Amino acid sequence: MRLPRIAELDESSSGWGFYLCARKERRTDRAGAEFLAVVLQDVSGQISAKVVHDVDAFQREFDAGDFVRVEGRANRPYQKLELLIEKIRRVDEAADRPEGFKEEDCIPCAPRPIEDMWQELRSRVERARNPWIRQLLTGILDRHGERLRIWPAALTVHHAYRGGLLEHVLKLAETGEALAAAYGADADLLLAGAVLHDLGKIDELSYDGVTSYSLHGNLLGHITIGVMLVREAASAIDGFPAGLRLRLEHMILSHHGERELGSPVEPMTAEAFILSSLDSLDATLHQVRRHVEDDRSEGDFTAYHPRLGRVLLKPSGR
């Protein structure tokens, strides 16, 4: 029987499935027995797994980074569910594609198709009335599109999957447009802020199905990297207005809202205030939604969310 997606496994699950092996280590248990400690991943999440017999043989069958075919059953020794692996081997495309293997099923991904999101973003950019902003953003999308399409928005906190950055950008473009209208703010500035504020993440993070901080990311941070990318792009446009460039750079620098949160300057324009407020809200609501969706606890409330520092009311609650 085919195993359900990782997010839907429970203690009774047993069968086979295709995964990306994200980590693999050989260890010795307290009783001295050796085993393979493995992390498996599919589109719905990650799970720890273990090979406890024929360890030498199975160890040669796959490596971290491989797509694998696994047979096993779920187990919950203490708090967390894990997978006891009975068989594991590297995917054999010829044999496994007919059985339903697809790479994209093994990589967590934004819920909406990337091509859809990308088209919406391009069309929003084309609708900008300020020609300088249109030209700047078009250039950015052309130059960095390969990464902008698929990048995650963060390592773990929110939108931490393929296409997460694009999903986050689009949501800010949408809400930014609404608040620009409500407050008579400059809609094109807010669109540019949405597209550019996290641009530095394409250098801050490295991503190839797995996300990590880059050397640049740790030492400079995505805010500074982003400002530099934007300055470079604006400098390449002949006659780009200096005042406009400054306002855009200010929005990127101030988008965390406060110095304690990593912004070296704080918002000084209506657009910068709006952008930082919407950015923070989008990150929070993404965490809220994921936590509620992933929650398996009983009762009206979810388990405690350590980063938010509270439990959340389930929408399905009384």
The stretch among 100-108, 130-138, 150-158, 178-186 that binds a copy of itself (CB under 8 A) is 178-186
- In the list 54, 300, 303, 307, the residue contacting a copy of itself (rule: CB under 8 A) is 300
- How far apart are the C-alpha atoms of 286 and 294, rounded to whole Å? 12
Binders of a copy of itself among residues 22 to 61 (CB under 8 A) are: 27-32
- In the list 5, 97, 127, 289, the residue contacting a copy of itself (rule: CB under 8 A) is 289
Which residue's CB is nearer to a copy of itself, number 91 or number 263? 263
Taking the complex as a whole, how short is the minimal distance between the CB of residue 3 and a copy of itself, in angstroms?
A: 17
Taking the complex as a whole, how short is the minimal distance between the CB of residue 221 and a copy of itself, in angstroms?
A: 5
Q: How far is CA 49 from CA 39, 264, 287, in A?
A: 6, 43, 26
- In the list 1, 2, 60, 77, the residue contacting a copy of itself (rule: CB under 8 A) is 77
Taking the complex as a whole, how short is the minimal distance between the CB of residue 259 and a copy of itself, in angstroms?
A: 5
Query: What is the helix, strand, coil percentage profile of the chain, to 5?
Result: 45, 20, 35
Contact 245, 189 (CB under 8 A): no
- How far apart are the C-alpha atoms of 18 and 42, rounded to whole Å? 8
Residue 295 as a binder of a copy of itself (CB under 8 A): the answer is no
- How far apart are the C-alpha atoms of 83 and 8, rounded to whole Å? 13
- CA angle, 152 then 266 then 242, to 5°: 85
- In the list 218, 237, 293, 294, the residue contacting a copy of itself (rule: CB under 8 A) is 218
**What is the torsional sign of CA 251, 255, 258, 262?**
negative
The stretch among 40-48, 87-95, 157-165, 226-234 that binds a copy of itself (CB under 8 A) is 226-234
